[in-house]
Each structure stands twice: as C-alpha cells, then as structure tokens.
C-alpha cells in the first residue's frame, strides 16, 4: 500500500504522526483497517473500534503483522447505539488521552428492508450519520486537546442524496439506496458544518471529508450482514455484497487499499485543507490518486447543513461544547 502504481503518490508524502493518537471507526476490516495500517506506518498510536470484540482482537493481530512497530489497542463501539457511544466516549475521556486524528469511517449500506438502530433510528442514517455526530460531539474536548483532524467518509452516492426532513427515519417510505444516499449526503453536510462551527467557536479542530471512489470494500458484507436483532439480511442485500466483490466491479473500480488513499490524504497530507472534500482523481472520481473531489450542490447549502445539525442535536441529545 505504500506505493501507488498509478502515479508518484505514496504514504511517504503524508506527515509523520509519531506521538499522535488516531481513532478509526469501523476498523476491523475494509477501508477502516487500511486507514489504520496507513496511519500506523506513519507512526500513529492506533485505536481500532468496532462492534465485535472477537473481530477486533483479530484485526489488532493483523495490524501488528502488517506494521510490526505499531502501538495500539481495540475498543468496542457500536455506532447503532447511543448508549454504546456514550460508554465508549466516557471511557476515553476518563483516560484523558488527547485524540489527534479521528476517522469517521464506519458505515452500513443498503439493507433490503428497513432496519433500526437500538434507539429506533433508520439503520443507515442512524449509524452512518447520527452515530458519528454523537461520537464526535462527545469527544470534542479530547479532539480539541489534540488539535485534531476529523475526517468523515462520504461516498459518490451523496451526489444523488436528498434529505426528507419529514421522514428522516424512513417510517413512511424506505428505499435501500435512497436512504444510503441520504446518510452519505448527511456525512458531507456534517463535515462542512463542523468546519464552519469550529472556525467560528473557535474550536482547535480541523474538519475534512473524503470518499474512496469505487473501492471493493466490505461495507455491505461485513457491516450490513445482520440486523440489530442478529438476523441475516435478505438475499437482495447479499447480492449487492457479491457485486461489490465481483469481477466487474474490480475491473471498473479499485482495491480497498487504493480506496483508502483519499481518506489518508484528508487526514495527514500537508496539502489537505480544512473544509475540503477529497477523492480519487480518475474518471468520474472512481479510481486514481487522491485530490480534491466535487461537492454535490446540496452539500454546499449552509442552511441545509445548519438544519441537519439542529435536528441531529435533537435526535441524539448531544450538544457540542468543550465543557
């Protein structure tokens, strides 16, 4: 992963991260694990997180194999549960360890039927957006202490995203991909609004966004394979997972290692800027080396972002502040 076959881009162009702590959500596999490996290679202390303790321990062992010099640990975090987010963040705040890099990466994609989080939110919106909104807000003092960079993972799907404020939880109408697009547009609006509020407050944090292009990640196979009751998703959902791992997608897309490049760029490139959005630079931003990505028009709407922020505060009960 250190050297790009496409152009003269490598992890060596990123800042050294010795003495810095990086927290990556959804990092027991896929993009999150590759981001963890990349940051570890640059010297960061790594906090892996995910819902499953057994998978977490296995991921930590794989991280040690990939980067023998790494220092890190695994912590249980279920972004589909506000109680889990609160428990996780309380434990981190009790440790008092500043966080220098936060990768809001975990995600669930397109379960065939409407599923809900532990708190009754539609699963994709609740996990992909609300979970990360609550996590970042509760960690704000530690992020400020670390002058942290917060990178939120969006998707090309955000280009067609909409925010139906009258039905954000899809109680009246559910479409798997429409609700995934909604959650990814929300991720972009959150990253942009966090940047504006950080500069206005001011909070010493740096908010950016990134997307992986067409990367053959395991977002469906690993993150959406079970509903919150532990039941398998439908055959339709499993078919999406196979498509993401199939030969056609591989031919048109890129590897998960390559998909992690824009995420790493946003987190640790000396050229990355606050409030910007990064992705692959190839055709339609599907593949290639990292650079600036195209913002969907709705993601540039300040009023829409402020409204989403207010609604997210009400839904999660999390208010941002340094106290």
Residues identified as active-site: 180
DSSP string, 130-195: IIHHHHHHHTHHHHHHTT-EEEEE--GGGGG----GGGTT-SS---HHHHHHHHHHHHHHHHHHHH
Q: What radius of gyration, in Å, describes the C-alpha atoms of the chain?
A: 18
Q: Is 73 exposed, middle or buried (0-12, 13-18, 19+ CB in 10 A)?
A: exposed
* DSSP H stretches of helix in the chain: 30-41, 53-66, 82-95, 123-124, 132-138, 140-145, 176-200, 219-223, 235-245, 247-252, 256-259, 261-268, 302-316
């Amino acid at each position: 992963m250190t050297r790009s076959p496409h152009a003269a881009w490598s992890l060596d162009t990123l800042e050294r991260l010795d003495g810095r702590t990086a927290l990556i959500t959804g990092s027991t596999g896929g993009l999150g694990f590759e981001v963890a490996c990349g940051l570890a290679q640059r010297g960061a202390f790594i906090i892996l997180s995910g819902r499953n303790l057994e998978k977490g321990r296995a991921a930590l062992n794989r991280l040690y194999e990939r980067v023998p010099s790494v220092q890190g640990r695994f912590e249980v975090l279920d972004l589909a549960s506000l109680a889990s987010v609160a428990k996780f963040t309380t434990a981190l705040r009790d440790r008092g360890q500043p966080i220098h890099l936060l990768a809001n990466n975990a995600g669930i994609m397109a379960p065939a039927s409407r599923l809900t989080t532990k708190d009754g939110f539609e699963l994709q919106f609740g996990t992909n957006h609300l979970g990360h909104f609550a996590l970042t807000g509760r960690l704000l003092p530690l992020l400020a202490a670390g002058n942290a960079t917060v990178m939120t993972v969006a998707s090309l799907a955000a280009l067609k995203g909409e925010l139906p404020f009258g039905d954000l939880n899809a109680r009246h109408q559910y479409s798997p991909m429409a609700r995934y697009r909604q959650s990814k547009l929300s991720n972009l609006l959150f990253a942009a609004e966090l940047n504006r509020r950080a500069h206005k407050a001011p909070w010493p944090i740096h908010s950016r966004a990134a997307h992986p292009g067409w990367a053959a990640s395991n977002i469906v196979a690993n993150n959406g394979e079970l509903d919150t009751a532990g039941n398998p998703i439908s055959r339709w959902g499993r078919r999406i997972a196979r498509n993401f791992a199939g030969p056609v997608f591989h031919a048109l897309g890129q590897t998960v290692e390559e998909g992690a490049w824009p995420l790493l760029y946003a987190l640790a490139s000396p050229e990355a800027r606050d409030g910007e959005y990064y992705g692959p630079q190839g055709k339609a931003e599907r593949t290639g080396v990292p650079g600036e990505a195209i913002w969907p028009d709705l993601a540039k709407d300040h009023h829409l972002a402020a409204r989403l922020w207010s609604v997210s505060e009400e839904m999660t009960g999390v208010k941002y502040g340094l106290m």
